[in-house]
Amino acid sequence: MSRVGKRPINIPSGVSVSVEGSKIIFKNSKISKELETFGRVVIENSNEALSFQPINGEAQSRAYWGTYRALANNIVIGLSQGFSKVLEINGVGYRASVSGKVLELALGFSHPVKYDIPEGVEMSVDKNTITIKGSDKQQIGQIAAEIREFRPPEPYKGKGIKYSDEVIIRKAGKTAKK
């Protein structure tokens, strides 16, 4: 039995949920998102709560049960509160700036690295931190991973782009001959 799938999702005010066949439609004042379940689980929408049940006798349905509940919960949280990731830039001369819909990074290469900001995502830069905000958890995580990939942190001096809560384990450098 799925521990995640058993819990109902409380729908906050400002977010409306409707079920059309195997599709769940989530709406707030600005954004509308859909989650297609392909008939793999039973969806119950009642009294500002959304719950999922596996189809009786199907092992595959039990496998999807907690997954669809987690995906629906992420959509509800994204529409009501939003998600954010914070990246830190460490290194001499490493800088970031946002101009329009482009994030420009100076990371020690011979050229600046430019990253186009997708629709529905907000980025802000404050000194050496980049904050990425949006309503889609998967998209925010993917964008943060792509930006980090431009210059991952290295273990000797700690230079590069890292998540704010990431801990870089440092290595000792070479020792002088005695």
**What is the spatial order of strands in the sheet that 121-126 belongs to?**
121-126, 129-134, 83-90, 160-163
Structure tokens at 67: 């997954």
Tens digits of per-residue pLDDT, 97-154? Answer: 999 999 999 999 999 999 999 999 999 999 999 999 999 999 999 999 999 999 999 9
Q: Is the pLDDT of residue 178 over 80?
A: no
Structure tokens at 34: 């859909």
**Domains of the chain by range and CATH?**
4-81 (3.90.930.12), 83-163 (3.90.930.12)
CA max distance for the chain: 75
pLDDT of residue 123: 95
Tens digits of per-residue pLDDT, 1-37? Answer: 568 888 999 999 889 899 998 899 999 888 899 999 9
Q: Is the pLDDT of residue 165 over 60?
A: yes
Tens digits of per-residue pLDDT, 53-64? Answer: 888 878 888 889
